[in-house]
Amino acid sequence: MPRFSKRSKQALETCHEDLQKLMNEAIKYYDFSVLCGYRGEEAQNKAFEQGYSKVKFPNGRHNERPSTAVDCAPYPIKWNREFRWRFAFMAGVITTVAKQLDIEIEWGGDWQKWKDRPHFQLKLKENK
Ligand SMILES: [Zn+2]
């Protein structure tokens, strides 16, 4: 059974408890790494400048404390185009487990304008 590295665990610990519960269950079925949970001002603005995020601090879901967004990547991590299907596979596992746990999430890979495949965020009722 796959399990998280120390680095993944530390990143996950900065996330909302529902995301922690979800990812700690999903890892039993598919091996992936948690890249990022909470992002402070410097990290967020760097992500913005590098094109990994569309918003500046403090407007991102990663800027909430605890973070209501988490970035994950299938392990071993490969960013090439031909391995994109692995992100969709991972998202399938994670969204299935989320349904079982009754946790409502959105996958960035489902967005129309800008696909953010590593990104998962809690659907917050007050925002909808
Ligand atoms: Zn993200």
Taken in order of first residue, the domains within the chain and their CATH numbers are 6-127 (3.30.1380.10)
Non-local (6+) Cβ contacts of 42 within 8 A are none
Q: Tell whether pTM > 0.85.
A: yes
Task: Say whether pLDDT at 127 is over 90.
Answer: no
Give yes or no for a contact between 1 and 24, defined as CB atoms under 8 angstroms apart: no
**How far apart are the CA of 1 and the centre of ligand 1, in A?**
26
Give CA angle at 72 (90, 74), nearest 5°.
Answer: 45
Q: What DSSP letter does each residue of 80-95 carry, written as one string? A: SGGGHHHHHHHHHHHH
Say how many Å lie between the CA of residue 52 and the centre of ligand 1.
Answer: 8
Model pLDDT for residues 44-73, shown as the tens digit of each residue = 999 999 998 999 999 999 999 999 999 999
Give me ligand 1 centre to Cα 47, in Å. 10
Distance 100 CA to ligand 1 centre (A): 23
> Cα of 118 to ligand 1 centre, how many Å?
7
Cα 3 to averaged position of ligand 1 atoms, centre (Å): 21
Task: Give 6-31 pLDDT, tens digit per residue.
Answer: 999 999 999 999 999 999 999 999 99
State how far the Cα of 11 lies from the Cα of 124, in Å rounded to an integer.
Answer: 21
